[in-house]
Each structure stands twice: as C-alpha cells, then as structure tokens.
Amino acid sequence: MRSFKDHKENTWDVHLTMGKVELIESRLKIDLLNMGDEKFLLPLFEDDRMLVALFWSLCEDQAKDKSIDEKGFGHLFDGPTLELCATILMEELVNFFRGSKKEMTATLLAKTESLLSQKYKSAEERIAGLSLEEIEKQQGNLA
C-alpha cells in the first residue's frame, strides 16, 4: 500500500486489490489482469483524465469519508500529484501480481515508460525544429 498527498495536502491510501481491479474493469473497461503489451498501458499514462478516474475508483470510499465528490476529487490533482500517482500506479500493479506475472508486469511497465519517453522526446525535437513562421502558421490553422 502506498500513500500520496494531493495539492491541498489531503492524504490518500492506495492499495490495489482484486475488488478494486474488478471495479476498475466495470467502470473504465480496463482489464488490469490481462495486460498484453506496452500499448495496453499507454492510455493510463497519457490520459490524465483516465488516471484520475482510475484513482477515483481506488480512493472513492476515502473521498466520501472526506465529503469529496468525484468532480471535487479531480480538482485535487495538479501536475506533481498526477506524476506521483502514475508512479504509484506502476508500483501497485507490480506488487499486485505474483511470481512470473509480477516480473512480466515490471518489464511491461518499463517498456511503457520507455515508449512514452521516446514519443515525447520525438515530439519535443519536432517542435524545437519549427521556425517561428511555421508555428504561427500552424496556430493560425488551429484558430
């Protein structure tokens, strides 16, 4: 079990159990028991809304005890909190499994982190290579 504090200093305990895995599957349609490859986990680590929704499933009882609803819960997640929660989720996933599946999950998570790092580095390099005129033109196309 891990704990974290949100940006308002509320403390939350996170512990992945079979009941929570089933709740996440029914609510979010994410089957944590049958992770196939690194692309399976990408939405959890790329989509902050998905990550907060997953943590709502993990912390809902605690939130209700604190009179915090789902929308209010989301307001407690800033950048540093999201970063910490992504790390906690990885650790909880690894610790949830036994034996070889535990090792496979650790490897899968490492590959997912590597894939994300490469993806963002490539995007950063592409942006850095743009001229001001190209950026202005692209922003004009978005308006």
Does residue 116 surpass a pLDDT of 80?
no
11 φ/ψ angles, rounded to the nearest 5 degrees:
-100, 135
- Rounded to two decimals, what is the model's pTM? 0.79
Q: Is the pLDDT of residue 108 over 60?
A: yes
Q: How many residues does the chain have?
A: 143
Print the domain residue range for 117: 2-142
Looking at the structure of the chain, the number of domains it has is 1
* Predicted confidence (pLDDT) per residue in 61-79, tens digit: 999 999 999 999 999 999 9
Distance between CA 108 and CA 37 in Å, rounded?
7
pLDDT in tens, 11-60: 999 999 999 999 999 999 988 888 765 566 777 778 999 999 999 999 99
pLDDT of residue 64: 97
Backbone angles phi, psi at 47, to 5 degrees: -105, 105
Average pLDDT, the chain: 88
Q: What is the pLDDT of residue 37?
A: 57
Helix (H) or strand (E) holding 37: none
pLDDT of residue 58: 98
Element spanning 2, H or E: strand 2-5
